Amino acid sequence: MLFNSIEFLFLFLPTTVLGFYLLQRGGSVWAVRWLVSASLFFYAWWHPPLLLLLLGSATFNYLIARLLEKHRHRLVLSVGVLANLLLLGTYKYATFIADNAAWLFGADIAAPDIVLPLAISFFTFQQIAYLVDVYRNYPAEKSAWRYLLFVSFFPQLIAGPIVHHTEMMPQFNHLTRALDAWLLAPAITLITLGLAKKVLLADTLLVVADPGFAMASQGLPLNGLEAITSATAYSLQLYFDFSGYCDIAMGCALLFGIRLPINFESPLKATSIIDFWHRWHITLSRFLRDYLYIPLGGNRHGTPRRFGNLLITMLLGGLWHGAAWNFVLWGGLHGVFLMLNHGWRHVSNARFANDPRLLVRLPSGVLTFVCVVSAFVYFRAPDVATANRLLQSIPDNMAWSLGDHYKKAVSESLNGDLLGLLTHGFGADLFIGGIMAGTLGTALLLPNSLSIISQTSADISTQPPRGQRSVIALRWRSNTLWAILIAGLMVAVCLSLSQVSPFLYFQF
Catalytic hit among 164, 165, 281, 321: 321
Contacts of 151 (CB under 8 A, 6+ apart): 54, 57, 58, 61, 123, 126, 127
Contacts of 3 (CB under 8 A, 6+ apart): 9, 194, 195, 198, 245, 248, 249, 252, 503
First-to-last alpha carbon distance for the chain, in angstroms, is: 15
How crowded is the C-beta side of 171, counted as CA atoms within 13 Å?
A: 20
Q: In a 3-state reduction of DSSP, which class is residue 320? A: helix
Going from the C-alpha of 61 to that of each of 123, 133, 283, 367, the distances in angstroms are 11, 13, 21, 43
Exposure string over 402-434, b if 16+ CB within 10 A, otherwise e? bbeebbebbbebbeeeebbeebeeeebeebbee
Peptide bond into 161 cis (omega under 30): yes
Tell me how far apart the 2 most distant CA atoms of the chain are, in Å: 71
d(CA 449, CA 447): 7
Give strand pairing partners of 260. 461
Going from the C-alpha of 265 to that of each of 286, 449, 450, the distances in angstroms are 14, 9, 8
CB–CB of 273/341 below 8 Å? yes
CB–CB of 38/17 below 8 Å? no
Exposure string over 169-181, b if 16+ CB within 10 A, otherwise e? bebbeebeeeeee
User: What DSSP state is assigned to residue 268?
Assistant: G
321 is catalytic: yes
Q: Give the helix/strand (H/E) hosting 121.
A: helix 120-135
State the catalytic residues: 321
